[in-house]
């Protein structure tokens, strides 16, 4: 516009001098002295130096910053289209089945990370075992094959299918036999697939064998009652339990189910009613069941048969020959007492034996029939289908293969090259088979000998089902797509047999909709939600035993005589390793054996006096030479309670092709197993010789006596019935003096506490693995365990006390025990020990940086990020439950047991942070679960209910020995439990005010049982 005024900024502009015009062109220019620099003289001027310093400063700073740390590149792919049910941070739960037991799988953003208990699962709704807990890690095992193998080369499914089908057609044409070898398969759909396969290839037979066999019981039942089944045992209905080497709380048939049953007659609820079952155990090695028995008698393997004959004679008044226990007076006395009590408890008693000998089990049947167990404590009409293996059938297979009659063999969930006694005979025979296919997930001992390895996904990636008891079905449903290029064995079999249904999911569903669901009135959707269906159970019939026992007795006596050598060797299944199939699972390898507390190894267990007699010290390496010539070198473990003249060796170790964690851990004991009278025998004899070497076993507990300290409080049932507070020390409480009387912390909201029933805890250790998985606890390996650095937040302390021959009093002090001449009468107690969340926590006051503090709801917190690692808190913890990260266990190649790769790290629980090196950690009472429980209650706009929050250890416990809850709620389970007169607090006298109450251990013993040992 015309009227715009002109403003000028200075006289220069006003005057508009040529200088100004020139400068105005580039208003802010400050010309770079390039010319000066380039000219020689420039270098000496002042400006370039300053510019140089500026550039240097900037350059150096930029380079330093850039070089500081290379930010790790994490490629994360967002959900472009988010699956409806997946919300990051909110877990989903799916029912599935692990080894026949229904479970709940927790998945987080599509990753299965934890196995939980399926509350709808009937007999399996109380808890799970350690194996099930550890099984999530198997999914993320890097030692597995990623593609199928053909002739040991990586291949693809088209090639494998073409090859197998071609070979099958040749086999078909030749008319030779086809064999599908599996361990007991309790999946009805899988069985139907094999039946369909057999329909297509009629020479097919399904051979089932179990590494740890129950053929003896099945055959004995067939002989005795015409029913070739494993019965359903009802330990809950038994007031008197007599076990001959059956480790029914640890490994025998269905241990977690039996634990729940057994404990129901021994836990606090039962005791409050004044009732507790009585348990006698006669056994060679110290089993977990033996540690829980009220009265335990060590007997040699060769005495087991005669002992049963004695018992039978005492009960029935018959006079079978061979029932003399001349060298074991105590056992003899005990058997007389047992016989008397069995007769008093007819219909409420149960006798079980761990033997796999048909004759022995037949005699046990006779005893059970005589005391009226059938129809009450033993149910033959709703049989257990967990184990169906037939030892003879497998022996026959080897012969068939040797004769060249077998054209094709398929291995499904079985690894005979490792876990049969005559593996060598098997492998030579196998070489004669033209088509060998393994369905293993890795190139294991057997798969390594096969032409094709049709890799199978883990159960977490599979469809399937299980039929553990007749009329009781559970479903296996996948919780993640197959991670590797694997295919279910059943699917492969369907494809190779050109089945009309080529998809195993459809096959399972059809099978259920046709054969299961109509009879129980449920739909497929119901099953996918509840996980199990069960028909109405048949009434258990009572059976009478009518066989003549003379042949049985003479067979027993013959086997017994064959075992009478200087050292009788008992081959058993260990609780962490079981039959060795999961040997590559680092959680299980580092799980201490509940009795010996040994990790990462097997050993030869000898009684203390036996070792002394033979001149062996603990950890001496011995050459153990079996009667069949097989010999291994194993370190000695001194095992109180082991029978004199015997040794025990665990199965499941010495794998050679299982993977990084499990290879060459311990020695293989399967070759010691012998085959006679149609079944496998887990008893043999051996000669021992010292090698002069030492092998220190990695134990998590090395001191076995509790030194008379009142950390363990126990009472006999008799005393308990007179006074429920017997032995608890509750009558003599000290007066508590408190410095801080004016400074009480009110716990206004919740007060989280725990109650642990020592009478319910069997020591099975499932809780330890559950805690490891839930809280991302690192596995540290054998060397570190040896250095006493295992990281387990929860441990189970196991103490032995030796009962004096004369007085019957328990001797618990190491120095006195050293002077005892007889160490056979040993009592055991298991005490779960974890952070006690003390209200006067000694760890809290000493931390210089307040990294461990108390919360208003009674928890002892640990702030990892604040911890500088002085370890003062751990030193000052009277319970020694704090664990220090000595190294960066999850990111240090020296501790590569499992977690040092990104794939396996997917198993980590995202709700729990991993801890770095130099930081203290400990039990948080699953604070992430407490928070989740609180939040979900808040979202539902309701108050927190008792039972909403369960800690991982509590949830998994088959015995319900651990109760967690709010002490401020007087009606909570835990408040009720803590009001029991049995409750005491460990180390309460130092007034740290622990938050975990323990209930006294009650033993059903009396003068008569004490007399047995006198």
Partner 1 sequence: MSGHNESILREPLITGKNITYAQITDDILLPVENKANKAWWIGFIISVCGATLWVVAVSYTFWFGIGAWGLNKTVGWAWDITGFVWWVGIGHAGTLISAVLLLFRQNWRNSINRSAEAMTIFAVICAATYVVSHMGRPWLAYWVLPLPNQFGSLWVNFNSPLVWDMFAISTYFSVSLLFWYTGLLPDIATIRDRAAGLRKKIYTVLSFGWNGNVKTWQRFEAVSLILAGISTPLVLSVHTIVSMDFATSVIPGWHTTIFPPYFVAGAIFSGFAMVLTLLLVARKVLGLENYITMFHIESMNKIIILTGSIVGVAYLTEFFIAWYSGSEYEQYAFINRSTGPYWWAYWMMMTCNVISPQLLWFKKIRTSIAATWILSIVVNIGMWFERFVIIVTSLHRDYLPSSWAMFYPTWVDVSVFVGSIGLFFTLFLLFLRVLPSIAIAEVKLLLKSASEQAKMELIKDGHLNKEQVQEYVESLEKFDSVKQEEYAKI
788 binds partner 1, rule: CB under 8 A: yes
- Output the smallest distance, CB 870 to partner 1, in A: 6
Count of positions on this chain that bind partner 1 (CB under 8 A):
57
Q: By CB under 8 A, which span of 139-147, 366-374, 642-650, 782-790 interacts with partner 1?
A: 782-790
789 binds partner 1, rule: CB under 8 A: yes
In our burial notation (b when 16+ CB lie closer than 10 A, e otherwise), range 649-679 reads bbbbbbbebbbebbeebbbbbbbbbbbebeb
Q: Which residues ranging from 940 to 999 are in contact with partner 1 (CB under 8 A)?
A: 986-987, 990, 992
Question: Whose Cβ is closer to partner 1: residue 28's or residue 740's?
Answer: 740
d(CA 629, CA 398) in angstroms, rounded, equals 20
d(CA 550, CA 532) in angstroms, rounded, equals 45
846 binds partner 1, rule: CB under 8 A: yes
Question: Whose Cβ is closer to partner 1: residue 148's or residue 781's?
Answer: 781
861 binds partner 1, rule: CB under 8 A: no
DSSP state of 635: E
Question: Whose Cβ is closer to partner 1: residue 143's or residue 705's?
Answer: 705
- Output the smallest distance, CB 420 to partner 1, in A: 38
Question: Whose Cβ is closer to partner 1: residue 918's or residue 933's?
Answer: 918
617 binds partner 1, rule: CB under 8 A: no
Q: Would you state the torsion angle of the CA atoms of residues 370, 375, 376, 378, taken in this order, to the nearest 10 degrees?
A: 80
Q: Which residues ranging from 989 to 1008 are in contact with partner 1 (CB under 8 A)?
A: 990, 992
Which residues are CB-contacts of 474 (< 8 A; sequence separation ≥ 6)? Answer: 95, 97, 100, 101, 102, 121, 124, 465, 466, 467, 468, 531, 532, 533
Question: Whose Cβ is closer to partner 1: residue 660's or residue 917's?
Answer: 917
Q: Tell me phi and psi for residue 111, to 5 degrees.
A: -105, 120
Q: Select from 387, 410, 799, 998 the one that contacts partner 1 (CB under 8 A).
A: 799
Q: Which residues ranging from 280 to 299 are in contact with partner 1 (CB under 8 A)?
A: none
816 binds partner 1, rule: CB under 8 A: no
Handedness of CA 375, 378, 381, 382 (dihedral sign): positive
880 binds partner 1, rule: CB under 8 A: yes
Q: Closest Cα to residue 854, out of 828, 826, 873, 834?
A: 873
- Output the smallest distance, CB 877 to partner 1, in A: 9
Q: Would you state the torsion angle of the CA atoms of residues 275, 277, 278, 279, taken in this order, to the nearest 10 degrees?
A: -160
Q: Tell me phi and psi for residue 590, to 5 degrees.
A: -90, 0
Distances (CA, A) of 961 to 264, 484, 951: 11, 39, 12
d(CA 265, CA 255) in angstroms, rounded, equals 16
- Output the smallest distance, CB 675 to partner 1, in A: 41
Question: Whose Cβ is closer to partner 1: residue 870's or residue 968's?
Answer: 870
- Output the smallest distance, CB 713 to partner 1, in A: 14
- Output the smallest distance, CB 880 to partner 1, in A: 4
Distances (CA, A) of 540 to 233, 379, 660: 11, 5, 48
Q: Select from 784, 911, 948, 966 the one that contacts partner 1 (CB under 8 A).
A: 784
793 binds partner 1, rule: CB under 8 A: no
CB-based contacts of 468-471 (< 8 A; 24+ apart in sequence): 468/100, 468/101, 468/186, 468/254, 468/384, 468/385, 468/386, 469/123, 469/232, 469/382, 469/383, 469/384, 469/385, 470/381, 470/382, 470/383, 470/385, 470/538, 471/382, 471/534, 471/535, 471/536, 471/537, 471/538
Q: Select from 657, 883, 929, 967 the one that contacts partner 1 (CB under 8 A).
A: 883
Strands (E), 695-724: 698-699, 714-716
Distances (CA, A) of 471 to 188, 260, 355, 381: 11, 21, 27, 10
653 HSE (CA, 13 A, CB side): 27
Question: Whose Cβ is closer to partner 1: residue 431's or residue 849's?
Answer: 849
- Output the smallest distance, CB 867 to partner 1, in A: 7
Q: Closest Cα to residue 497, out of 160, 159, 165?
A: 165
| Orientation angle between helical segments 301-316 and 358-370, nearest 10 degrees | 30
Q: By CB under 8 A, which span of 116-124, 531-539, 886-894, 958-966 interacts with partner 1?
A: 886-894
d(CA 462, CA 482) in angstroms, rounded, equals 8
636 binds partner 1, rule: CB under 8 A: no
882 binds partner 1, rule: CB under 8 A: yes
867 binds partner 1, rule: CB under 8 A: yes
593 binds partner 1, rule: CB under 8 A: no
312 binds partner 1, rule: CB under 8 A: no
Q: By CB under 8 A, which span of 302-310, 604-612, 761-769, 912-920 interacts with partner 1?
A: 912-920
Q: Which residues ranging from 688 to 727 are in contact with partner 1 (CB under 8 A)?
A: 701-703, 705-709, 711
920 binds partner 1, rule: CB under 8 A: yes
Question: Whose Cβ is closer to partner 1: residue 581's or residue 882's?
Answer: 882
d(CA 160, CA 162) in angstroms, rounded, equals 5
Q: Select from 728, 885, 975, 1004 the one that contacts partner 1 (CB under 8 A).
A: 885
Question: Whose Cβ is closer to partner 1: residue 593's or residue 797's?
Answer: 797
Query: What are the residue ranges of helices labelled H in 201-321?
Result: 215-225, 255-263, 268-272, 288-292, 301-316
d(CA 938, CA 455) in angstroms, rounded, equals 46
d(CA 995, CA 98) in angstroms, rounded, equals 34
919 binds partner 1, rule: CB under 8 A: yes
Question: Whose Cβ is closer to partner 1: residue 410's or residue 884's?
Answer: 884
- Output the smallest distance, CB 116 to partner 1, in A: 29
- Output the smallest distance, CB 702 to partner 1, in A: 7
**Residue pair 179/187 in contact by the 8 Å Cβ criterion:** no
917 binds partner 1, rule: CB under 8 A: yes
Q: Select from 92, 916, 968, 993 the one that contacts partner 1 (CB under 8 A).
A: 916
- Output the smallest distance, CB 48 to partner 1, in A: 34
Residue 465: strand, helix, or coil: strand
888 binds partner 1, rule: CB under 8 A: yes
- Output the smallest distance, CB 832 to partner 1, in A: 11
In our burial notation (b when 16+ CB lie closer than 10 A, e otherwise), range 274-294 reads eebbbbbbbbbbbbbbbbbbb
In our burial notation (b when 16+ CB lie closer than 10 A, e otherwise), range 70-91 reads eeeeeeeeeeeeeeeeeeeeeb
Other CB atoms within a 10 A radius of the CB of residue 729 amount to 16
Question: Whose Cβ is closer to partner 1: residue 561's or residue 788's?
Answer: 788
Distance of CA 1012 to the CA centre of its chain: 35
Q: Select from 163, 545, 619, 887 the one that contacts partner 1 (CB under 8 A).
A: 887
Q: Select from 868, 901, 902, 935 the one that contacts partner 1 (CB under 8 A).
A: 868
848 binds partner 1, rule: CB under 8 A: yes
- Output the smallest distance, CB 482 to partner 1, in A: 38
Q: Select from 50, 403, 514, 787 the one that contacts partner 1 (CB under 8 A).
A: 787
Question: Whose Cβ is closer to partner 1: residue 910's or residue 918's?
Answer: 918
886 binds partner 1, rule: CB under 8 A: yes
Q: Which residues ranging from 430 to 459 are in contact with partner 1 (CB under 8 A)?
A: none
Q: By CB under 8 A, which span of 259-267, 327-335, 719-727, 791-799 interacts with partner 1?
A: 791-799
Would you tell me which residues interact with partner 1 (CB under 8 A)? 701-703, 705-709, 711, 784, 787-790, 795, 797-799, 831, 833, 842, 845-850, 866-872, 874-876, 878-880, 882-888, 892, 916-920, 986-987, 990, 992
């Amino acid at each position: 516009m015309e009227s715009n005024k002109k403003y000028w900024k200075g006289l220069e502009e006003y005057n508009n001098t040529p200088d100004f015009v020139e400068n105005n062109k580039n208003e802010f220019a400050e010309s770079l002295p390039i010319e000066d620099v380039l000219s020689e003289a420039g270098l000496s001027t002042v400006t370039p130096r300053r510019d140089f310093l500026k550039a240097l400063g900037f350059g150096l700073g930029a380079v330093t910053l850039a070089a500081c740390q290379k930010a790790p590149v994490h490629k994360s792919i967002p959900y472009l289209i988010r699956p409806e049910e997946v919300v990051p941070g909110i877990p989903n739960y799916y029912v599935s089945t692990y080894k026949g037991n229904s479970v709940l799988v927790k998945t987080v953003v599509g990753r299965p990370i934890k196995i939980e208990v399926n509350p709808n699962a009937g007999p399996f709704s109380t808890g799970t075992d350690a194996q099930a807990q550890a099984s999530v890690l198997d999914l993320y095992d890097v030692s597995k094959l990623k593609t199928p193998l053909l002739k040991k080369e990586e291949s693809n499914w088209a090639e494998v299918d073409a090859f197998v089908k071609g070979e099958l057609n040749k086999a078909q044409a030749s008319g030779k036999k086809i064999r599908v070898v599996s361990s007991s398969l309790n999946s009805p759909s899988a069985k139907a697939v094999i039946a369909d396969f057999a329909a297509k290839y009629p020479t097919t037979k399904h051979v089932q064998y179990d590494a740890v066999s129950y053929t003896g019981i099945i055959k004995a039942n067939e002989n005795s009652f015409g029913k070739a089944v494993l019965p359903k045992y009802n330990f809950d209905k038994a007031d008197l339990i007599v076990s001959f080497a059956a480790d029914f709380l640890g490994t025998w048939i269905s241990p977690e189910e039996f634990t729940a049953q057994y404990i129901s007659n021994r836990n606090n609820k039962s005791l409050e009613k004044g009732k507790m079952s009585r348990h006698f155990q006669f056994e060679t090695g110290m089993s977990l069941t033996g540690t829980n028995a009220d009265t335990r008698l060590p007997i040699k393997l060769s005495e087991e048969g005669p002992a049963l004959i004695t018992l039978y004679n005492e009960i029935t008044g018959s006079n079978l020959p061979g029932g003399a226990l001349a060298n074991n007076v105590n056992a003899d006395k005990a058997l007389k007492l047992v016989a008397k009590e069995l007769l008093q408890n007819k219909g409420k008693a149960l006798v079980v034996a761990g033997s796999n000998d048909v004759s022995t089990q037949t005699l046990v049947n006779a005893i059970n029939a005589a005391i009226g167990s059938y129809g009450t404590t033993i149910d033959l009409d709703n049989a257990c289908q967990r184990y169906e293996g037939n030892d003879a059938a497998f022996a026959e297979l080897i012969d068939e293969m040797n004769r060249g009659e077998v054209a094709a063999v398929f291995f499904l969930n079985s690894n005979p090259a490792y876990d049969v006694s005559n593996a060598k005979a098997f492998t030579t025979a196998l070489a004669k088979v033209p088509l060998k296919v393994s369905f293993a997930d890795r190139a294991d001992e057997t798969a390594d000998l096969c032409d094709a390895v049709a890799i199978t996904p883990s159960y977490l990636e599979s469809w399937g089902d299980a039929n553990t008891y007749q009329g009781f079905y559970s479903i296996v449903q996948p919780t993640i797509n197959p991670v590797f290029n694997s295919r279910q064995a059943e699917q492969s079999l369907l494809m190779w047999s050109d089945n009309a249904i080529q998809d195993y999911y459809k096959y399972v569903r059809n099978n259920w909709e046709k054969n299961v669901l109509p009879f129980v009135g449920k739909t497929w959707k119901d099953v996918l939600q509840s996980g199990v269906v069960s028909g109405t159970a048949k009434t258990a019939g009572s059976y009478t035993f009518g066989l003549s026992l003379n042949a049985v007795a003479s067979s027993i006596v013959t086997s017994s005589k064959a075992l009478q050598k200087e050292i009788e060797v008992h081959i058993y299944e260990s609780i962490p390793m079981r039959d060795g199939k999961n040997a590559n699972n680092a959680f299980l390898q580092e799980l201490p054996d509940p009795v010996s507390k040994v990790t990462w190894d097997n050993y030869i267990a000898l009684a203390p006096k036996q070792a002394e007699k033979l001149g062996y010290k603990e950890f001496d390496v011995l050459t153990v030479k079996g009667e069949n010539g097989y010999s291994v070198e194993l370190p000695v473990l001194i095992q109180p309670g082991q029978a004199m003249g015997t040794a025990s060796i665990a199965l499941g170790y010495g794998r050679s092709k299982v993977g990084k964690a499990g290879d060459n851990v311990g020695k293989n004991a399967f070759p010691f197993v012998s085959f006679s009278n149609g079944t496998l025998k887990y008893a043999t004899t051996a000669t021992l010789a010292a090698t002069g070497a030492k092998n220190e076993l990695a134990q998590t507990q090395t001191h076995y006596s509790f030194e008379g300290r009142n950390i363990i409080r126990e009472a006999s049932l008799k005393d308990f019935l007179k006074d429920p507070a017997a032995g608890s020390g509750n009558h003599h409480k000290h007066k508590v003096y408190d410095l801080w009387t004016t400074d009480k912390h009110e716990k206004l909201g919740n007060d989280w506490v725990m109650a642990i029933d020592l009478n319910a805890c069997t020591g099975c250790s499932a809780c330890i693995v559950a805690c490891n998985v839930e809280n991302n606890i690192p596995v540290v390996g054998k060397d570190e365990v040896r250095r006493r650095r295992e990281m387990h937040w929860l441990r189970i302390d196991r103490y032995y006390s030796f009962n004096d021959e004369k007085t019957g009093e328990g001797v618990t002090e190491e120095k006195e025990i050293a002077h005892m001449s007889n160490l056979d009468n040993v009592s055991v107690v298991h005490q779960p020990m974890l952070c006690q969340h003390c209200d006067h926590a000694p760890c809290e006051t000493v931390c210089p940086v307040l990294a461990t503090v108390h919360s208003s709801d009674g928890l002892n917190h640990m702030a990892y990020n604040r911890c500088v690692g002085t370890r003062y808190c751990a030193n000052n913890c009277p319970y020694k439950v704090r664990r220090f990260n000595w190294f960066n266990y999850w990111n240090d190649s020296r501790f590569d047991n499992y977690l040092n790769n990104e794939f396996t790290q997917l198993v980590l629980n995202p709700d729990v942070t991993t801890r770095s090196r130099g930081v203290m950690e400990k039990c948080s009472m699953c604070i992430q679960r407490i928070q989740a429980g609180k939040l979900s209650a808040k979202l539902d706009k309701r108050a927190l209910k008792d039972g909403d929050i369960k800690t991982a250890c509590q949830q998994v416990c088959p015995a319900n020995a651990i109760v967690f809850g709010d002490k401020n709620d007087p009606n909570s389970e835990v408040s009720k439990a803590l009001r029991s007169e049995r409750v005491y607090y460990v180390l309460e006298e130092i007034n740290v005010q622990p938050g975990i109450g323990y209930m006294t251990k009650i033993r059903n013993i009396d003068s008569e049982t004490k007399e047995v040992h006198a």
